[in-house]
Amino acid sequence: MEAYLLEYGNVLLRWLHVVAAIAWIGESIYFVMLDNSLRPPQSAEGKRRGVFGEMWGVHGGGFYHNQKYLTNPAELPDDLHWSFWKAYTTWLSGFALFAAMYLLKPGFYLVNPGSSWAWAASMSGWQASLLAIVFLLLGWIVYDQLCRRISPNMERDGVLSVAVAVMMVVVAYLSCMIFPGRAAFLITGAVMATCMSANVFFWIIPGQHRMVDALKAGREPNPLDGKRGKQRSVHNTYFTLPVVLLMLSNHYSFTYSGPYAWIILSLFIFSGAAIRQYFVLRHSGQNKLAYPVVGVALLVAIGFLAAPRPAPAPTGQDAQGETVSTAQVMQIMHARCVQCHAAHPTQPGFPAPPAGMVLETEQGLLAHPDLVKQVVANNYMPLGNLTQMTQAERDTIAAWTAPQSKP
Ligand code: HEC
């Protein structure tokens, strides 16, 4: 019952998280589009009031006329629309989900007995959880320091972009070496998402508060507050597309289970950033096709890198030259898999068979023989090797040829 309630809570939390993220990202994309679509004001009235740029739009059966002032509009109404709760809700619900699925159950997804770094392979559950939190905190601290030191007043933003890109490759590499692929992709996405929310919390909103306070007191706002907020806001738009992809990646184990996981992860980030760059320029009237071409080329490269290696055709025989029977494989399923993959799992925390995969009967096994062979061969299953499958058992499954394998 408890496991069921947790699972139900998980669904509700995920729903909240996705809706908040859509609202935040949608608004953020809208404002980038607005900013890049501004044209000098047409009317004498607009010019007189110091309008910097304006955009006319039609949507939902009505016409809209947006006008942007830089830091000092002549008057400021009290009911100014702020956007920040969407960002905070996204991060808080995302962290709660991460805690429920990963930090509190590190044995399933966070510990990586297959890591080639011995200290990482032998980490205990709580150490892995602690390290995951350190990744998020340190990610923000390093990113923030890069911004402060390299381009505090937006004067060297090009160099800063390169530094942040290098930082993300390092995060991708470290997380893929330390954590299982699934968690590594998520944690790298969460590092970016944490930087995004922290940008809103520590820079964009406080800067805007100072600007509004100055205007209300009749002082000229400090233009640096506007510039710095803009810098962080621009970074956020670069992070958006990769973050969304990384949050969805857990459904696609082929992306994170192979030997090139960290390269694939880095290429996904660059591809998302390149595609985003195209749309930003597009809004300002430039059609720079090189960006989507690079983005798509990276995606094609990922397609090759993530493709299954051509494994030697199963011999059908084990190391002793004996034919591997399906009954032998079923024995292994019962020893290592049915704790979770049963109609009624005995593994605490699993109210239902994960991924709908029931491996208690031959019929269940033979419904997905190739998938079973794949996840056993790339060490994705058993999760966190909780049931301590041996290499000999993996070899046996690799050698097995399933009867009536589906084409
Ligand atoms: C500790 C629980 C646990 C054990 C033990 C376990 N699994 Fe899984 N399995 C899961 C979970 C959770 C998922 C869903 C993972 C996901 O959503 O990526 C899963 C998913 C799968 C999938 C679907 C993967 C996909 O990409 O769709 C297969 C196949 C699978 N397991 C096979 C096995 C086999 C074979 C074994 C035994 C060698 C095994 N599992 C042992 C928990 C477990």
| pLDDT value of position 137 | 97
Return the ligand 1 atom nearest residue 345 CA.
2
**Ligand 1 centroid – CA 133 distance (Å):** 25
> Residue 330 falls within a domain, yes or no?
yes
**Ligand 1 centroid – CA 337 distance (Å):** 8
CB atoms within 10 A of CB 361: 14
Same domain, 289 and 184: yes
Question: Nearest residue CA, atom 20 of ligand 1?
Answer: 355
Residue 253, domain extent: 88-306
Question: Nearest residue CA, atom 3 of ligand 1?
Answer: 340
Contact 110, 179 (CB under 8 A): yes
| pLDDT value of position 404 | 66
| pLDDT value of position 407 | 45
Question: Nearest residue CA, atom 21 of ligand 1?
Answer: 355
CB atoms within 10 A of CB 26: 11
Output the tens digit of pLDDT for each of the chain's 407 residues. 777 888 899 999 999 999 999 999 999 889 888 988 899 988 888 787 888 899 999 999 999 999 988 767 777 777 888 888 999 999 999 999 999 989 988 888 899 988 889 999 999 999 999 999 999 999 999 999 999 999 988 889 999 999 999 999 999 999 999 999 999 999 999 999 999 999 999 999 999 999 889 888 888 888 899 889 989 998 998 999 999 999 999 888 889 988 899 999 999 999 999 999 998 888 888 899 999 999 999 999 999 999 877 766 777 777 777 888 999 999 999 999 999 999 999 988 888 898 889 999 999 999 989 889 988 988 889 988 889 999 999 999 999 988 865 44
Alpha carbon of 134 to those of 114, 137, 138, 190, 265: distances in Å?
21, 5, 6, 12, 20
CA distance 349 to 353: 11
**Ligand 1 centroid – CA 37 distance (Å):** 48
SS3 407: coil
**Ligand 1 centroid – CA 368 distance (Å):** 12
CA distance 263 to 270: 11
CA distance 35 to 326: 63
Contact 342, 276 (CB under 8 A): no
Question: Nearest residue CA, atom 4 of ligand 1?
Answer: 382
Q: How many domains would you assign to the chain?
A: 2
> Residue 66 falls within a domain, yes or no?
no
> Residue 367 falls within a domain, yes or no?
yes
SS3 323: strand
Question: Nearest residue CA, atom 33 of ligand 1?
Answer: 381
CA distance 151 to 143: 12
Q: Which residue has the tokens 């629309």?
A: 81
| pLDDT value of position 46 | 79
CA distance 252 to 374: 12
**Ligand 1 centroid – CA 148 distance (Å):** 44
Pocket test for ligand 1, best of 340, 350, 391, 397 (most atoms within 8 A of CB): 340
Joined tokens for residue 143: 């990113």
CA distance 273 to 267: 10
CA distance 194 to 370: 37
Pocket test for ligand 1, best of 341, 373, 374 (most atoms within 8 A of CB): 341
> Residue 291 falls within a domain, yes or no?
yes
**Ligand 1 centroid – CA 383 distance (Å):** 6
Same domain, 185 and 288: yes
Question: Nearest residue CA, atom 28 of ligand 1?
Answer: 372
Same domain, 170 and 240: yes
CA distance 68 to 146: 30
> Residue 23 falls within a domain, yes or no?
no
> Residue 191 falls within a domain, yes or no?
yes
Same domain, 255 and 288: yes
Contact 176, 169 (CB under 8 A): no
Same domain, 286 and 387: no
Same domain, 337 and 222: no
Same domain, 251 and 347: no
> Residue 266 falls within a domain, yes or no?
yes
Last residue of a domain, which of 306, 341, 357?
306
> Residue 279 falls within a domain, yes or no?
yes
23 CB-contact burial (10 Å; exposed 0-12 / middle 13-18 / buried 19+):
middle
| pLDDT value of position 303 | 94
**Ligand 1 centroid – CA 134 distance (Å):** 28
Question: Nearest residue CA, atom 27 of ligand 1?
Answer: 355
Same domain, 345 and 395: yes
Joined tokens for residue 192: 């970016």
Strand partners, 55: 66
* Cα dihedral: 23, 25, 31, 36 (round 10): -150
Question: Nearest residue CA, atom 1 of ligand 1?
Answer: 383
Pocket test for ligand 1, best of 375, 379, 389 (most atoms within 8 A of CB): 375
Same domain, 301 and 331: no
Same domain, 275 and 375: no
Same domain, 142 and 212: yes
Same domain, 247 and 343: no
Residues with CB under 6 Å of ligand 1 are 108, 250, 253, 336-337, 339-341, 347, 354-355, 357, 359, 368, 371-372, 375-376, 381-383, 386-387, 389
**Ligand 1 centroid – CA 354 distance (Å):** 6
pLDDT of 80-91, one tens digit each? Answer: 888 889 999 999
